[in-house]
Chains A and B, each alone.
Chain A
Amino acid sequence: MTEGARALPVLEVDNLAKRFGDRGAAGLKDVTFAVAQDETLAIVGASGSGKTTLARLIMRLANPEAGSIRLHGRDVTRLHGEPLRRMRPRFQMVFQDALAAFNPRASVRRILEDPLRIHGLAEPKDFDASIDTVLERVGLGTEFRQRLPLELSGGQRQRVAIARAILTRPDLIVLDEPVSALDVSVRAQILNLLLDLQDETGVAYLFISHDLAVVRAFADRMIVMEEGRIVEDGTTEGVLAAPQAKATRILIDAVPRLIR
């Protein structure tokens, strides 16, 4: 990440607040941070710290009580209907459980065609070409077009989820525990794919995780959340080398150490 890139925030979140008690979800208080182009910001915290609530607000799947969310300087906090729909291609999300995120009866082709059609990103005659290109890009052959989600391995499903996310050429992808359910060898492949895509496109990532070792390997900066507040932030290296908040130290202590 360069100083130039830092000057160009893709996402700015200011004093975001959400009350507790919304279907049992964690609330948020005074959450402020920014993510620049080409940057990966990790959001870490224990269960119930507000990570997922934050992701839902940024994706505009829920409304905050106070504060603002800006994408490339544009306030999207109160955007609804058609204006919000027009902004949707700019920010995408990849979930932990791709199986739950896909229509189980839709083929891979259908899953990838939807965003192209809905957002008018290609002419219908070019759908197949676009789908083949993106499948190729995420390391899946065109033979995957007719597969159903249940016919894919966990890693393959996550590749399809990434393909769907990058189809709209987003500025920001929220990655909610994208590798937590995967085997270690598959985990490395998916994270490497995401790193490559960032190299190519400069997409910003908001990486939600409770696994600090993965955060260490993947993210430039991190914020630590506890009970809906940011209790620590900084470069990943800096925070992990000299944690200030108790919540951070608890998370660090919880990481299993390989003893050889």
Chain B
Amino acid sequence: MTETYLRVRNLRVNYDQTAALHDVSFDLARGGRLAVIGESGSGKSTLAMAIAGLLPGSARTEGAIEFPGFSHVPKLGKDIGVLFQDPSGSLDPVMNIGDQIAEVVMTHEGTDWISARVRAVELLDRVRIPKALSRLNSYPHELSGGQKQRIALAAALAGNPSLLIADEPTSALDTVVQRHIVNLLDELVRDSGLTLLFVTHDIALASERADEIAVLYKGELVEAGSTAKVLGQPEHAYTKALIGTHIALDTPRRKRLAEIDASKLQ
């Protein structure tokens, strides 16, 4: 039997008077790759941030988020790495990238500055930054969007986490760069046996990369299960509609594109 890494039970999150998540429950197996799919306002980022422990102070949370394999509360940066959509927002613009990564290593591994810089080079190598050593003194603005996301990934992995939470990690990138980052992410997750929770609005991307899919709609978990089951035999009207809006390269050209009729979803 597979070991449960993460157990979410009856999770509710409210911002002021607004409910962002209603009663969400699911399990994620150790080493599993879960895609959380939904549109703006579905609560998908709220779910990811609740698990990361990064909800704003104004959020009111009920229910349970448990990590059965841990004897302590998992520590952000050490046990859980987080990758955000906008790498410019997660990187410090006035700190060179070597220091940004080394700082995470020093904080969580307790190593000295020299070893941390050596480890930073290794991490830059791992995320395929060419000439890693010479890049240590570069600043984020000198890098392209794809490279910045690689650096953010290196920083997220610097504490050797067992869970990586990625919130739309490739949505701001063009499709070719997206493909490279997703391939890299996939490879690192498999190589290090990481458990992955990634948030995406792209159902095709989820179908390629996830073992499990959770579909959120207006704060409700409307469907969850293996990728093959959720996409092959979708049960909820919203999942079906989402699949219906997908445009493939061989979709015959029609007069109009399929839309989601919200009135038919309730």
List chain A positions with a Cβ less than 8 A from chain B.
Answer: 46-47, 153-154, 183-189, 191-192, 195, 210-214, 216-218, 236-237, 240, 250-260
Please list 23 pairs of residues, one from A and one from B, whose beta carbons are closer than 8 Å in the complex, sorted by A's number.
A47-B145, A153-B40, A184-B39, A184-B246, A184-B260, A188-B257, A210-B174, A217-B247, A217-B251, A217-B254, A217-B257, A240-B249, A250-B176, A253-B179, A254-B179, A255-B204, A256-B205, A256-B207, A257-B204, A257-B207, A257-B248, A258-B204, A258-B246
Say which residue of B175, B248, B255, B259 sits within 8 Å of A258 (CB atoms). B248
How many residue pairs at the A-B interface have CB separations less than 8 Å? Answer: 108
Interface range for B: 35 or more
In contact, A257 and B208 (Cβ under 8 angstroms): yes
Separation in Å of the B223 CB from the closest CB of chain A?
14
B201 touches A256 (CB 8 A): no
B residues adjacent to A (C-beta < 8 A): 39-40, 144-145, 174-179, 201-205, 207-208, 227-228, 231-232, 241-243, 245-251, 253-260, 262
Do B257 and A191 touch across chains, with their CB atoms under 8 A apart? yes
Q: Which residues of A contact B255 (CB under 8 A)?
A: 195
Chain A residues lying within 8 Å of B204, measured Cβ to Cβ, are 255-259
Closest 3 pairs (CB-CB, A-B): A256-B204, A185-B260, A183-B39
A260–B232 touching, CB < 8 Å? yes
A236-B178 Cα distance, complex, nearest whole Å: 22
Residues of A near B246 (CB, < 8 A) are: 184, 258
- Pick from A184, A212, A213, A214: contact of B242, CB under 8 Å: A184
Report the Cα distance A254→B176, complex, angstroms: 5
Set of chain B residues within 8 Å of A251, measured between Cβ atoms: 175-176
- Cβ-neighbour of B144 out of A47, A187, A252, A255 (below 8 A): A47
Partner of B202, one of A185, A216, A256: A256
- What chain A residues lie within 8 Å of B250 (beta carbons)? 216
Please, which residue of chain B has its CB at the minimum distance from the CB of A253? B179
Partner of B259, one of A192, A237, A252, A255: A192
Chain B residues within an 8 Å CB radius of A240 = 249
- Structural contact, B247 and A47, CB atoms closer than 8 A: no
Choice from A154, A195, A212 contacting B175 with Cβ under 8 Å: A212
A252 pairs with B253, CB closer than 8 A: no
Q: Which of A154, A185, A260 touches B207 (beta carbons < 8 Å)?
A: A260
